[in-house]
Amino acid sequence: MRGFPGRRKNTETEETRPRKYCMGHLFSRVTPKFREYSYETDGPLTEPVLPEGYQETERYWVDEGRALVVIALNIRKRQNEYLLFEPGLSEFEYEILERLYADLRDILILTDEEITADRQTVLSEKTALLISEYGVALSQDAVFRLRYYLFRNFLGWSRLDPLMNDPGIEDISCDGSMIPLYLYHRRYGNIRTNIAFEETALNSLAISLAQRSGKHISISSPILDASLPGGSRLQLTLGTEVTSRGTSFTIRKFSADPFTPVDLLEFNTFDPESLVYLWLAIENNKSLIFVGGTASGKTTSLNAVSQFIPALSKIVSIEDTREITLYHENWIASITREGVSGAVRGANIGMFDLLRAALRQRPEYLIVGEVRGSEAQTLFQAMNTGHTTFSTLHANSVDATIHRLENPPLNVPRNMLQALEIISVQALIYKGHERVRRCQEIVEIAGIDSATGNMRVNTVFTYDPVNDTFLYSGRSVVYTRIMERRGWSREEMSTEIENRRRLLLAMKEQGISDYVTFSQIIQVYSVDPEGVLAREYDLRSVPG
């Protein structure tokens, strides 16, 4: 029922039962004040009790004192499960909550002042008025518990709210009614939860998700792809029209704080030498594509290395849903738009339309979230006319990448492929029992063999799965071209590579992984490398 916890034994009496109230009398009273909950002062509101047959592996708060996650081993299945615990309510508190929920829906018509006020403050004041009018005696902890559920349901994501606020979760998957939700956890991979929805509640949640994304879903149009507020990607099907087990959805969470190259170092997705290679390549306008399978980290890596783009460069990014986040002011972030039913012809704005418009904006760097159709030809035309372009593509190897690009529906002519200079192949692999993301190889496109007509490639870095390390081949066409362009000798090139390697390792050691500070240091380095290296042991002082 509306995402609220289950009922307990009825403890209601005549003295505590909620009373009917007059709306005019309600707003003539002075608004009572609620004290804010404090974990340090008030202690936890949630006390977890593990089901029989479970052994705790780890626990952490998503909302301190209120929403607790326990990763527990199911002893029978020998698998970890994600158990979410929230404040428990008595039967009487549940009835109060249901009454508050119904009455708040009637009175949440905001004045002009309230529209611009803090939403939590407005909801808290109106809740206090209603509780005062009911004339019930509630303990302070009971008020804290009620407010948690009201804030969660009115301002958050209902039962999904703790999952949406858990930074360790990448994907949330619902496969149907009364089927446990499954998550993709950064540390534990795919993991089962103790959360499931009845059919009515699940359909209501699906409609709510669609409305919050600004879209419409119905039995006549039961499939939806959209972006939620905050940027998370939503794929949704309604009812049993196309999914026989009932309404389903997948939410791919968007992080407002993207990963940086320092994070990629921490995860060992890349090593310092390969990141320095990409840094120099991007700074010197080399076009590249990240390829790999689903969930291999293509977009994450693309976003991370895009932070190496020089500060003042004009950037245009094109995506179906917003995933790219940069600390660059001279950046146009564009997204596609689906046409509205009944709208005029041409209301759809796709990747091709945005890419064509972007080329008129004279971008120095063009970032395309993923190429999958006719826009690939325009993208490669942009490369061939001197625009530096970055993108991602679903393919598992360099050969598969070239094959996909040359054949329908992409249809890029082979002679145009020469403008692409670097392909980074990524994969989600197993390291022991743990699933990790690794760059499998970084390969350069060296041109077309005049005798055979085949693409000539040069592998610069390869991944050694036995030792979990990366190997440099010792030869690079991109490095050679950068030396020629900059007029550097081999010694000068080696010195520059070593300086940048030292800088990345220093940021890793000092824990500088937020994208704002990282980008600021990189941007200062581009104009004053000696000054940055002089403060190598206190890099946080560089942006200031």
DSSP state of 340: P
- Give the model's pLDDT for residue 404: 94
pLDDT(544) > 70: no
pTM of the model: 0.82
What are the b/e assignments for 386-396, b being 16+ CB within 10 Å? ebbbbbbbbbe
Domain that holds residue 464: 268-486
Classify residue 511 as left (phi > 0), alpha (psi -120 to 50) or beta: left
Side chain identity at 44, as an amino acid letter?
Answer: P
Task: Examine residue 476 and state whether it is found in any structural domain, yes or no.
Answer: yes
117 pLDDT band (50/70/90 cuts)?
confident
pLDDT(453) > 90: no
CA distance 261 to 277: 12
CA distance 211 to 532: 48
Task: Examine residue 446 and state whether it is found in any structural domain, yes or no.
Answer: yes
- Give the model's pLDDT for residue 257: 84
Task: Examine residue 284 and state whether it is found in any structural domain, yes or no.
Answer: yes
Task: Examine residue 74 and state whether it is found in any structural domain, yes or no.
Answer: no
Task: Examine residue 354 and state whether it is found in any structural domain, yes or no.
Answer: yes
**30 with 46: CB under 8 angstroms?**
no
pLDDT(70) > 70: yes
The domain that contains 367 carries what CATH number?
A: 3.40.50.300
Listed in order, strand segments (DSSP E) in 105-219 are 169-174, 182-185, 189-193
CB neighbours of 401 closer than 8 A, spacing ≥ 6?
Answer: 289, 291, 393, 395, 423, 425
Query: Which pLDDT tens digit goes with each residue over 159-181?
Result: 999 999 999 999 999 999 999 99
Task: Examine residue 110 and state whether it is found in any structural domain, yes or no.
Answer: no
Task: Examine residue 525 and state whether it is found in any structural domain, yes or no.
Answer: no
- Give the model's pLDDT for residue 340: 56
Structure tokens at 474: 């010792």
Q: What is the mean pLDDT of the chain?
A: 89
Write the DSSP string, 119-141: HHHHHHHHHHHHHHHHT----HH
**449 with 456: CB under 8 angstroms?**
yes
CB neighbours of 443 closer than 8 A, spacing ≥ 6?
Answer: 398, 422, 423, 424, 425, 457, 458, 459, 460
Query: Which pLDDT tens digit goes with each residue over 364-380?
Result: 999 999 988 888 988 99
12 pLDDT band (50/70/90 cuts)?
very low
Pairing type for strands 223-227 and 189-193 reads unpaired
**Overall number of domains in the chain:** 1
Task: Examine residue 146 and state whether it is found in any structural domain, yes or no.
Answer: no
- Give the model's pLDDT for residue 114: 65
To the nearest 10 degrees (0 to 180), the angle between helices 91-107 and 119-134 is 120
pLDDT(537) > 80: yes
